[in-house]
Structure 1
């Protein structure tokens, strides 16, 4: 695992794309603070920039560094969530502008997967995580279902099996500073 983290760090630091197992599905990742790298993700996925991407952080401390104000309920949701849960927060800060949605929000997940968590901690910045498919195509449930176009379009493919074999996208919840909670995806 140490070699895989080292390879990913090299690619991420130079603005490249990685294909990696996450706590949910195989993801395409890049440095969430690098606008050119984020643009490469949109281009590879053939995804409109108006459609948001998710980014992963290692812990609550890192989460606090990239969101202006976190509603208290977010901590309760994350503490009691039975499965990986992504929260859409208002007023993200210190991330690439093209990662921020038109309504000034950003979807962030505190990642508990051992590989992802170690990678993010070593990188010291959030990492984009979006499913490893062309926009509009089904989300691959296993590595074997990832298209050759995606495999060829990234700079490095992590050679590890995902710890989570269920391969289901995360729950997505939108929280607003005025206390509204909306479930986007169960």
Structure 2
């Protein structure tokens, strides 16, 4: 078992495990985002997770457990490729979609015969799962309202869900800040069902073959975070190429709107006329994908609190290192993937 950082934190972990065993709902940290968990065999607790999030009953949860050696306990069949990924990447930000075993209730999987399985790489999450024991697991989505921004701190969970959660286990800010990579096995070929921070090149090297990201209409399995609109702030968000970003900002400002311009590229903001404008706020993000991903959700939450009329976000660079960020921003804006790939500016109606 991975030791907790302090005695007081260990007490909190033991208390959280007790809450889960007794049918409660606990928010807990992982390396990706905070999860909203119920003990997998407790149907009423699992139902509360859906109710707290306002999540559709057919939208599956991810099963978190403590040790990759228990994969065959939760999955009915484990292809050799899945076993190889688990051995090399767990604990870590990887979810495998596999046929569910009899130990996984159908209400956890949204009625599907497949289940998302993951061993998180966070000392508090692992300590909690070990405390529960090898026969138990935690079914959990992210600890936020359905379709909204995932939380990366305990404070985010408290602000959004409040007292609806029985306990919030604080493990500090999430190290990665973006949800896990989801890999499925449709037919005999592995496919990426949701991009994450594991490089596609690394997955391909482990498996000895190229993985594909199938178009939404071609997918036969429902997975978390795959809806056209997801990870969305309350403030409507638009994606624009850098050369059109400031023009759009000044157009909206001329109509009396308060807007934030979110950039990653090192453009001179003052020369574009924005610095003189009190209704146009510039928010600079890192030009490096790991740091950008870690800060993304916290930054969107901060901007949401500013009571702006619109968020204008610079389209991220092309390439696999930015794939997860592009995916989250596309869904946060409701932008079709083909339009994002074309680099066109996307102007949305207020939601």
TM-score by length of 2: 0.49
- Aligned CA RMSD, in angstroms, stands at 1.9
User: For residue 233 of structure 2, what is the aligned residue in structure 1?
Assistant: none
Task: State the 1:45 CA deviation.
Answer: 0.5
Query: For the residues of structure 2 that align with 1:141 and 1:157, how far apart are their CA atoms?
Result: 13
Matched, 1:2 2:10: yes
User: For residue 156 of structure 1, what is the aligned residue in structure 2?
Assistant: 167
User: For residue 41 of structure 2, what is the aligned residue in structure 1?
Assistant: 33
TM-score by length of 1: 0.89
Query: For the residues of structure 2 that align with 1:142 and 1:13, how far apart are their CA atoms?
Result: 24
Matched, 1:143 2:151: no
User: For residue 178 of structure 2, what is the aligned residue in structure 1?
Assistant: 168
Q: Give the SS at the match of 1:30.
A: strand
Q: Give the SS at the match of 1:106.
A: strand
Aligned length: 184
Where does 1:123-138 land on structure 2 (aligned, <5 Å)? 123-124=132-133, 125-138=136-149
CA contact (8 A) 2:68 2:86 kept: no
Matched, 1:76 2:84: yes
Q: Greater RCO between the two (CA within 8 Å, min separation 6)?
A: 1
Q: Residues 78-116 of structure 1: CA distance to partner in whole angstroms, max 9, x if unpaired?
A: 344495100111133212330123331110102232221
CA contact (8 A) 1:151 1:157 kept: no
CA contact (8 A) 1:17 1:154 kept: yes
CA contact (8 A) 1:88 1:174 kept: yes
Distance verdict in 2 for CA 1:7–1:98, change over 3 Å: same
Query: For the residues of structure 2 that align with 1:141 and 1:118, how far apart are their CA atoms?
Result: 19
Q: Give unmatched runs, 5+ long, in structure 2.
A: 1-8, 196-351
Query: For the residues of structure 1 that align with 2:131 and 2:155, how far apart are their CA atoms?
Result: 28
Q: Give unmatched runs, 5+ long, in structure 1.
A: none
Query: For the residues of structure 2 that align with 1:112 and 1:171, how far apart are their CA atoms?
Result: 13
Task: State the 1:146 CA deviation.
Answer: 3.0
Q: Residues 47-68 of structure 1: CA distance to partner in whole angstroms, max 9, x if unpaired?
A: 1110001111111222211111
Instruction: Out of 90-99 and 119-128, give the one that drifted further.
Output: 90-99
Query: For the residues of structure 2 that align with 1:142 and 1:5, how far apart are their CA atoms?
Result: 17
Query: For the residues of structure 2 that align with 1:144 and 1:2, how far apart are their CA atoms?
Result: 20
Query: For the residues of structure 1 that align with 2:36 and 2:116, how far apart are their CA atoms?
Result: 15
